Structure 1
């Protein structure tokens, strides 16, 4: 069957269309993506502005038309931290449902971590052993660890690259004092969780998902995304430590010229790099592998698990 996942995230609204059936890996068929930057469309009270809601509704309508054009039988619509944490979340969801017919499921941060972990586990299989998964989104950082398909521990922190850029790094390039303050903040937040994870044991395999990790790996020398999902892409802590100060000193336009960095993501790459460096350092990760599957694939896999075998 042809399934669609509509992901209303902090940075983008992304429709992923796949051909899938139980027991087989989902095959990507179409991708429709709009950079909405919903997390930046908040007013002083933390509510998504009227203009932001109007734009969100227009983008969702566009995505649903794309799903119809591609013959999608079922769409799984969900929203993450930008909607979850908005002061007017209920009103936003009601207007979206009324004007588009789409009932967005709002995932908790822990649910995001668990679904992303499921996707990584299926990608790497049981031979990966104890798996530690790190995911940097626009609004939050998800961390999950475990041996099975359901992680033993999963957590979410408000350390998304877009959120931190807006709140901590307004300059272009950012002020060195702001960068230093954000570094302290990020590490203090992550350090609170490290003990809970380390008590369970040392991971056998560490993976990073999300656009932030992919771009950091690319500028550190990993192969291009165009080379396909089966190319092994890794990010080492030493290479990352070399790049963090460079990224913090670069204006956005210069970052956008780096390999694999899009114009839309360049602004928040310095903040994302500080989160990646902090997480890898505090969790004692020398090197991680970039996983091509993440939250959207996790939702698809969970849905397929509940379909009857043909």
Structure 2
């Protein structure tokens, strides 16, 4: 059995995903299945977006966590993995040093990826989950530090953008007006490109997955969350304080605060592109990383056999 892994060092949480390959599965998009997924809310972005760097205490915790993840990679005998750091580490004054420390202490090489690469990775396998790929779709991934968008027409990528608008940034009042304006401008241009055709959204990230599950009006069979339902849920969530959200919706503290700005970001985008729903496949950056690793191995295998 062959195993692949991805480590996502995000602004809100650090995730480890391990998947195994079932080579007997005829469909390539169905061959990978989840073995384990761990999520530890280190909340690096709260340090970075407020003070410009990751605190020494959180650096120590991050290194300890990566040591633990390294042991799991060994236990599962992972054949290939990739670790990626995103928005918070991009902005952190000590980000490069932290990455060096991780490599020295754990042997794990961490790639500091830019927003455009993050956007490409994060949408790489999601169209495989769509029954109907015809039409215009805006792939939107909302993280703690940034939002990535990809504009797809009949399954073909036409535009990629990354914006420093994220849930943790919003909670720290660290989103610049100019960035909102740039996102709005780009989205309006995509609307013009689409002509009279509608644009719907493919949503990614832990918050939209949770919002999808919380909404009573979600279409669970087609994995769709109507925008009208999202707006109603946002109004209810934003009217509650943190403790009330945790109690009423059974949310963890690190989800109860960021879920409100996440909903707001999705609503703002949906209003501009006039989306009717958000398609919510339960996949994220880590899934995209593993899919690309597997695709690379498959390509190398064909070249070797050829």
TM-score range, shorter chain: 0.7 to 0.9
Q: Which residue of 1 aligns with 2:289?
A: 299
Find the aligned partners of 1:117 and 1:245 in 2 and give their Cα distance: 29
Distance 1:102 1:80, change over 3 A: same
- Is 1:250 aligned to residue 243 of structure 2? no
Distance 1:29 1:102, change over 3 A: same
Distance 1:100 1:193, change over 3 A: same
Q: CA RMSD in A?
A: 2.7
1:30 pairs with 33, 36, 53, which one? 36
Find the aligned partners of 1:263 and 1:285 in 2 and give their Cα distance: 30
Q: Could you tell me how far 1:205 is from its partner in structure 2?
A: 4.9
Distance 1:273 1:132, change over 3 A: same
Find the aligned partners of 2:123 and 2:148 in 1 and give their Cα distance: 9
Distance 1:185 1:236, change over 3 A: farther
Find the aligned partners of 1:306 and 1:126 in 2 and give their Cα distance: 26
Q: Which residue of 1 aligns with 2:80?
A: 74
Find the aligned partners of 2:223 and 2:252 in 1 and give their Cα distance: 18
1:121 pairs with 127, 138, 141, which one? 127
1:211 pairs with 181, 206, 211, which one? 206
1:84-113, Cα deviation, whole Å (9 max, x unpaired): 111222111111111111111112111111
Find the aligned partners of 2:49 and 2:209 in 1 and give their Cα distance: 31
Moved more, 90-99 or 203-212: 203-212
- TM-score under structure 2 length normalisation: 0.85
Query: 1:138 aligns to what SS in structure 2?
Result: coil
Find the aligned partners of 1:149 and 1:223 in 2 and give their Cα distance: 24
Q: Could you tell me how far 1:2 is from its partner in structure 2?
A: 0.3
Q: Which residue of 2 aligns with 1:179?
A: none
Query: 1:167 aligns to what SS in structure 2?
Result: coil
Q: Which residue of 1 aligns with 2:56?
A: 50
Find the aligned partners of 2:20 and 2:187 in 1 and give their Cα distance: 38
Query: 2:173 aligns to what SS in structure 1?
Result: helix
1:154 pairs with 154, 160, 170, which one? 160
Q: Which residue of 1 aligns with 2:47?
A: 41
Find the aligned partners of 2:100 and 2:240 in 1 and give their Cα distance: 41
1:36-85, Cα deviation, whole Å (9 max, x unpaired): 11111338650112222111101111111122222322221111111111
Moved more, 2-11 or 41-50: 41-50
- Is 1:191 aligned to residue 197 of structure 2? no
- Is 1:286 aligned to residue 279 of structure 2? no
- TM-score under structure 1 length normalisation: 0.84
1:119-169, Cα deviation, whole Å (9 max, x unpaired): 21122267444432111111111110124766210111111112211227x
Task: State the number of aligned residues.
Answer: 292
Query: 2:216 aligns to what SS in structure 1?
Result: coil
Q: Which residue of 1 aligns with 2:253?
A: 263
Q: Could you tell me how far 1:277 is from its partner in structure 2?
A: 0.9
Q: Which residue of 1 aligns with 2:109?
A: 103
1:271-295, Cα deviation, whole Å (9 max, x unpaired): 1121111011111111111112222
Q: Residue 79 of structure 1 contacts residue 106 of structure 1 at CA under 8 Å; is this kept in 2?
A: yes
Q: Residue 10 of structure 2 contacts residue 86 of structure 2 at CA under 8 Å; is this kept in 1?
A: yes
Distance 1:129 1:303, change over 3 A: farther
Gaps of 5+ in 1: 169-181, 225-229
